[in-house]
Amino acid sequence: MIGILDSGIGGKGIEQEVTRLLPGVGTYYLRDAEHFPYGDKPPEEVVRIIDENCGLLVSKGAKLIVLACNSASVVSLAHLRRKYQVPFVGVVPAVKPAAALTKTGKIAVFGTALTSSSQALEELIEKFCQGITVYRIPLEGLAEAVEFGEPEEARRIVGETWHRYRNLGIDVVVLGCTHYTLIRDDIQHLVGADVKVIDSNEAVAKQVKRVWEGLIP
């Protein structure tokens, strides 16, 4: 069984991709509503919460765990891989493909406060974005609006935030929160057809498939 963990519904997009690629494999989706959202909490608190949840997934028989949350992944993966024997697949913003796609040399990462300020994102930018301007844009309240089914509020947050950046020549937007992928079409409409909007869902699912198949004797 593959365990999939997020603080809410954001990871459902990844679960759908995993199920499509591995249709015969069971999944267990742990929606940690009690601690939603992860992205506005201190890193050490998120690590503690994720550690407890992963222990629960292991006790339920998970042979592989997917952290279907950028905020959780950027602060927790190293700790989890040291502590547990099962493999982990995390989610990080798709900075590398964005750097390859941009024609203007300007990209944006839409994320939570935790992801936007994380060392992991900084390292991705340093590694893959030499000569490229990266705007780290936290969208306060957007994950909550998606989680609680408030589409008008979600569109307001994206629209008002993007208004401050729309004339800077950004031509690629990275969705650095799995919740944001659930309103990808709305975000694409708001940023305009000339801007590519990308996420990590398919890439994460492909990595899950590779790791899972590597576990089979």
Co-location of 136 and 159 in the same domain: yes
pTM for the model: 0.91
Q: Which residue in 15, 3, 7 sits closest to 32, CA to CA? A: 7
Q: How far is CA 189 from CA 13, 155, 182, 205, in A?
A: 19, 10, 14, 25
| Same-domain check for residues 82 and 10 | yes
Same domain (yes/no): 121, 176: yes
One domain, residues 102 and 194: yes
Is 205:13 a contact under the CB 8 Å cutoff?
A: no
Q: What is the pLDDT of residues 170-202, one digit of tens each?
A: 999 999 999 999 999 999 999 999 999 999 999
Q: Provide the CATH number for the domain around residue 163.
A: 3.40.50.1860
The reply to whether 116 and 176 lie within a common domain is yes
pLDDT band at 217 (very low <50, low <70, confident <90, very high): low
Q: Helix (H, G, I), strand (E, B), or coil: what is residue 157? A: helix
pLDDT score for 40: 87
Tens-digit pLDDT profile for residues 35-51: 999 988 999 999 999 99
- The residue segments making up the domain with residue 16 are 2-91+202-215
| Residues 185 and 206 reside in one and the same domain | no
On whether both 101 and 186 belong to a single domain, the answer is: yes
Same domain? 37 vs 104: no
The tally of domains found in the chain comes to 2
CA torsion 71→109→183→44, rounded to 10°? 10
Q: Are residues 36 and 62 in the same domain?
A: yes
Catalytic positions: 69, 177
25 plus 65 within the same structural domain: yes
